Amino acid sequence: MLKVIFFIIAIFLMVSCVQADKPFLIRDVSMHSNNLVEKNGVPLVLRNNELLHTIDTNIYSFATVNEWFDHESILYLTDENGVSYLNKFHLFSGEDELFFQINEPILQVDANPDFSVFAIEVTSLDREKHLYFVNRKGTIIHKLNNVGEEFQIYWNPYRNHELIIAALQSDYSVKLKEINLVDKSIVDFNFEYSYVQWINESELAFLKWDLLSPSFYAPLYTYNLETEKKVKKVDDIIAFFSYYNHLLTITLDDIDKEYSQYTFYDMETNKKLTQFQVPVLNTYSEQWWIPNHAFDKESKTFYLLKPSNGGDLFSYSEGFSLVSIQVETGKEITIVNIDENYPLKLSPDGRRILFGYQLEEIIDLKKRKNNRLIYW
């Protein structure tokens, strides 16, 4: 029963990518936040010979920017008369076209690793959750009905058309499904931990919490989907994330420490790559707050919204620095300063980051400049 409670709490929080000023629960599956904000005006911004267009949409219908479509185009959501429209917008030509529409609310859009398929989560009037898989033409290639009360998907970064779904069922049980979009196969398997990450083509990583004796720390294990074998990898960590061939662990020497330790590993060689410290914003609860972040597998660069110093999460007001950290050398560069711990979405080519509660702003990482995509 305790694991179910943890799942229910965690399902409303974020890694993917995590709402600002809300603690990240390390036992969670992360959810993207949709916040409705008004806007007006459509100015253009000249950026060193690149004309960045802003989205021209009805002030009352705009919901949120959802996802990158490619390195120069994004997908954004509008809602009119109960119909959800997912639109494709080219940042530099201003071309705006309908990508997908449905007569149900769209909650979330997640691209697979090569941006060839988009998972679209919708909810029906009776609050059932469905998942549509759509190709780059906006055509539905697969659909899952009644996935669960809440769920999180984990795309396999090594096999672009495979994913794991961790779903909370109507009876509050948790189910994990492995889905192959090529042959449409679905494999259900029993697994008591809901937050998982891919570490290679056929293995997941998870934190093995002692549910009968709650602790701030847990060992990191791997789970082989083919053999069902579990192997311990790291002792006593508070959170972890995996990226293509890389693993990030977060540790604390003491729960009262002002800094947490971030450690990157190369998963092919099991070699420790780099370590760095991040100030802790304390929740004074069993929940750990983790700053928003992103990873570029091509340049092997980690992006993090780093607090200026540690302190109380709920009274902290000193802003954040978007920093880049080269995981093989440890070199850290401050890109821009931001006032809040906003959600982040890195472009497929690693040149730009969307940020904001509606992902309504964009940062050019090389020029270290940010601009708004929508004005209100």
What digits encode the pLDDT tens for the residues 318-376? 999 999 999 999 999 999 999 999 999 999 999 999 999 999 999 999 999 999 999 87
Residue 255 confidence class, pLDDT cut points 50, 70, 90: confident
Spell out a b/e string for 267-301, using b for 16 or more CB atoms within 10 Å of the CB, else e.
Answer: beeeeebbebebbbbbbeeebbbbbbbbbbeeebb
Weakest-pLDDT range from 15-29, 122-136, 153-167, 256-270: 15-29
Structurally, how many domains does the chain consist of? 1
The kind and range of the H/E element at 69 are strand 62-70
CA atoms within 13 A on the CB side of 150: 17
Return all residues near 131 (Cβ < 8 A) that are at least 6 apart: 119, 120, 121, 122, 143, 144, 147, 151, 153, 165
Which residue range(s) make up the domain with 246? 2-372
Question: What DSSP line would sit under 211-260, residue for residue?
Answer: TTS--S-EEEEEEETTT--EEEEEEEESEEEEETTEEEEEE-SSTT-SEE
pTM, to two decimals? 0.85
For residues 88 and 135, the answer to whether their CB atoms sit within 8 Å is: no
Residues 175, 180, 185, CA angle at the centre, nearest 5°? 75
Q: What is the pLDDT of residue 24?
A: 36
More confident residue, 32 or 252: 252
* Alpha-carbon distances of 376 from 25, 149, 331, 369, rounded to whole Å: 33, 34, 38, 20
Residues 244 and 222: their CA atoms lie apart, in Å, by: 15
Residues 310 and 260: their CA atoms lie apart, in Å, by: 10
The alpha carbon of 9 is separated from its chain's Cα centroid by a whole number of angstroms, namely: 17
Residues 176 and 167: their CA atoms lie apart, in Å, by: 6
Residue keyed to tokens 């992360």: 30
Q: What is the pLDDT of residue 201?
A: 94
pLDDT, averaged across the chain: 86
Residue 5 confidence class, pLDDT cut points 50, 70, 90: very low
Residue keyed to tokens 């300063």: 337
- Closest to 333 (Cα-Cα) out of 265, 371, 276: 276
Residues 20 and 253: their CA atoms lie apart, in Å, by: 25
pLDDT higher than threshold 80 for residue 100: yes
Residue 3 confidence class, pLDDT cut points 50, 70, 90: very low
pLDDT higher than threshold 80 for residue 122: yes
pLDDT higher than threshold 50 for residue 180: yes
Find the CATH number of the domain harbouring 367: 2.130.10.120
